[in-house]
Amino acid sequence: MDRRSFLAFAALAALTAGLSTPAAAQSQTWPQRNVRFIVPLGPGSGVDITARLLAERLSAKWGKPIVVENKPGGDAIVAISAFTGANDDHTFLMAPTSTFTAHPFLHEKLPYDMRDLVPIARVSNTVIAVGVPAAAGINSVSDLITRAKVEPGKLNSASATGANDFVVTGYLKLSGADITRVPYRDAVQAVNDLAEDRIQLYVAAYAIVRPQVQAGKVKLIAITNSERAPTLPDVPTVKDVGHPGLTIDGLVGLFGPRDMPKALRDRMAADVMAAAGDPEIAAKIGATGQIVRPGGPEEFAQAIEEQIKVISDSAAAAGVKRMLQN
């Protein structure tokens, strides 16, 4: 799907879906049965904890249980397929957008259409950390790039499939930094190798690297988010330190089916934003390595559109062609 059409479709869905009185009336009686939140990550992940915190609050408000189903694996395609396959107004996807915005550059075919993922509400932005070994003597992004130019090919960067990898690879190529990409399937192993200075760069969710940061073996030189994280007030953004091209926010939010009535969408969005903005819940979400940033359907769609553009531009800079053609 062309990146410029996603926001247009989302806006059209928001304006046209469920404009009839029967649909509006139906939203008032919803839900009629248990609600499902499908999560593409495993139990204990930041998104999983967030989904469960919201589920507890929203189930009390909606009067029906909300079941959180973890369906990790398959580059999030397992979870997305389960969501789109359900095709009902009681099953939703709670996910980081980075699980699917990079898919067109990774897969020639997909079992879903991105237009089936209709934004309901943004909940948070995952804090994405730029981590280096504490023992490496690298104190900033500029230090890292300078060393990579002086010692071409001697530094290693952990590579994991997804949006972050495209942004990092594209930016390093544009900057002239020669850093060897080392593919990892296991994030924990990547962090352990970073701590032991076997690799010198890993850009990943802060929650993943936090244990080694707290152990003093990994140093955070920046975060890629567009704003500083309240839980890491002393860690600058990449823009703060003169590298805005590395900026990418880890968007997390709730998605509904394509034909979801507008009245229901608006009602759910308001409830989700209210729950996420509650100080008690917000504090718990923040503790998982996220910046609480509630937003409505149009705002969420706009943020996704911006992320898709960043990934597309980064992929082009890295010489990666789009694989999905439709």
Give one DSSP letter per residue of 56-123, joined into a string: HHHHHHHTS-EEEEE---GGGHHHHHHHHHH-STTEEEEEEGGGTTTGGGT-S--SS-GGG-EEEEEE
Of 208, 224, 240, which residue sits at a domain end? Answer: 224
Host domain of residue 153: 128-224
Same-domain check for residues 7 and 114: yes
CA dihedral 129, 133, 138, 142 (to 10 degrees): -30
The span from the CA of 96 to the CA of 195, in Å, is 26
**For residue 323, what pLDDT is reported?**
87
- Examine the domain organization and report whether 90 and 157 are in the same domain: no
Q: Write down the mean pLDDT value for the chain.
A: 91
CB under 8 Å to 234, separation ≥6 — which residues?
A: none
- 190 and 143 fall within a common domain: yes
Identify whether 199 is part of a domain: yes
Assess whether 116 and 137 both reside in one domain. Answer: no
Domain boundary among 157, 189, 224: 224
3-state helix, strand, coil in the chain (%, to 5): 50, 20, 30
Q: What is the CATH number of the domain that holds 105?
A: 3.40.190.150
**For residue 29, pLDDT beyond 90:** no
Does residue 254 share a domain with residue 205?
A: no
Looking at residue 117, its pLDDT comes to 95
The SS3 of residue 296 is coil
Query: Does any domain span residue 96?
Result: yes
Are 120 and 275 within 8 A, CB to CB? no
113 and 14 housed in the same domain: yes
Residue 308's Cβ-count burial label (10 Å; 0-12, 13-18, 19+) is: buried
Same domain, residue pair 47 and 63: yes
Residue 240 lies in a domain: no
The CATH number of the domain holding residue 193 is: 3.40.190.10
Which pLDDT tens digit goes with each residue over 68-111? 999 998 999 999 999 999 989 999 999 999 989 999 999 999 99
Question: Given this model, what pLDDT does residue 324 score?
Answer: 85
From CA 132, how far away is CA 134, in angstroms rounded? 6
**Is residue 238, in this structure, part of any structural domain at all?**
no
| Domain co-membership, 117 together with 69 | yes
Which residues on adjacent β-strands are paired with residue 209?
Answer: none
As a whole number, mean pLDDT of residues 167-176 equals 93
Mean pLDDT computed over 160-173: 88
CB 66 within 8 A of CB 55: yes
**21 lies in some domain:** yes
pLDDT, residue 87, reads 87
Q: Is residue 151 part of a domain?
A: yes
Number of domains the chain is built from:
2
Please check whether residue 304 is in contact with residue 99, taking contact to mean a CB–CB distance below 8 angstroms: no
Q: What is the pLDDT of residue 47?
A: 95
- Residue 258: Cβ within 10 Å count: 14
pLDDT grade, residue 283 (50/70/90)? very high
Residue 19 is assigned to a structural domain of this protein: yes
Residue 19 pLDDT > 60: no
In-domain check, residue 143:
yes
* CA–CA distance, 155 with 147 (Å, rounded to integer): 8
The residue that leads in pLDDT, 24 or 234, is: 234
CA angle 17, 267, 87 (to 5 degrees): 50
